[in-house]
Amino acid sequence: MGPYAFAGGTAVVTGAASGIGEALAVQLAERGSSLVLVDKDADRLATVADGIRTAHPQLAVQTYVVDLADEAATDELGATLASAHPQTTLLVNNAGVALGGRFDQVTLEEFDWVLAINFRAVVRLTAALLPVLKAHPGAHLVNVSSVFGIFAPAGQAAYAASKFAVRGFSESLRHELADDGIGVTVVHPGGIRTRIAQSARMGSGVPPELAAGREEFDKLLRIPPEKAAAQIVAAIEKRRPRLLIGATAKVPDALVRLRPGTYWRPIARIAGRRAAAGGRG
């Protein structure tokens, strides 16, 4: 399979109003891709789209405001994208949410909210757009997992479950779609400085004094989203099957391979040191 051709194609990007999604949209436009941008934050999404339209007036940029937690709305979005954008050659399932708390501190409704956005929306949009991608040999699919799709820390049962599911789904699709000329990349970002820590929900059973732990987690998020997006764009072009972004993904990946049943203690020590260093900075 040859390199992915950005110019002249159309890219669908979810979670495009901020963070990695916003940076990806900007960099894909710089490569000559028309854009279909999806997010639930109408104001931020409009700002991103307007900026790209101003910088690249020759490109088509369309937006859809949808809450991917709403499965009916997600199905409607998928049908609309497939019919209105048959020229789509790249789908980036980037939207994601986080939920803190042990499994016994979150409700099933809270757990299901994470799965709906982080995994089921990925499946539903991929199913809707797969016939469109297959109509364009050389198309590409990107699913953004997480470092928590490589290892599963305490207090992240819902998030880790959703991101491990994205990883498995993506790897299976990669093998299935190779003969159709469609590349698949699964992305495992480490500590990317996005809004996910600030916007993360805490389980309703998490004690208030423990909910403050998100500030320590936020100290681990150091990689600019623009840098992460540049690596993703390069991975798409080169058809890389798997992308680890940052030492906060690469080091845990190595530890999980070396110590598959006992990786947690060394990873927790490394995370603690990094958070402490961030606090001193």
What is the tally of helices (H) and strands (E) in the chain? 12, 9
Taking the CA atoms of the chain, what radius of gyration do you get in angstroms?
18
The identity of residue 72, as a single letter, is A
The identity of residue 223, as a single letter, is I
Q: Any idea which residues carry the catalytic annotation?
A: 159
Longest dimension (CA), the chain: 53
Q: Which residues pair with 61 in a beta bridge?
A: 35
DSSP-H helix ranges across 149-207: 157-177, 196-199
Nearest to 67 by CA among 11, 145, 19, 14: 14
Ranges assigned E (strand) in 125-206: 140-144, 183-189, 201-202
Nearest to 16 by CA among 34, 41, 33: 41
Q: Which residues pair with 189 in a beta bridge?
A: 245
Nearest to 147 by CA among 85, 189, 206: 189
CA distances (Å), origin 112, targets 117, 118, 129, 161, 179: 9, 10, 24, 11, 34
Task: Round to whole Å and give the CA distance between 92 and 254.
Answer: 26
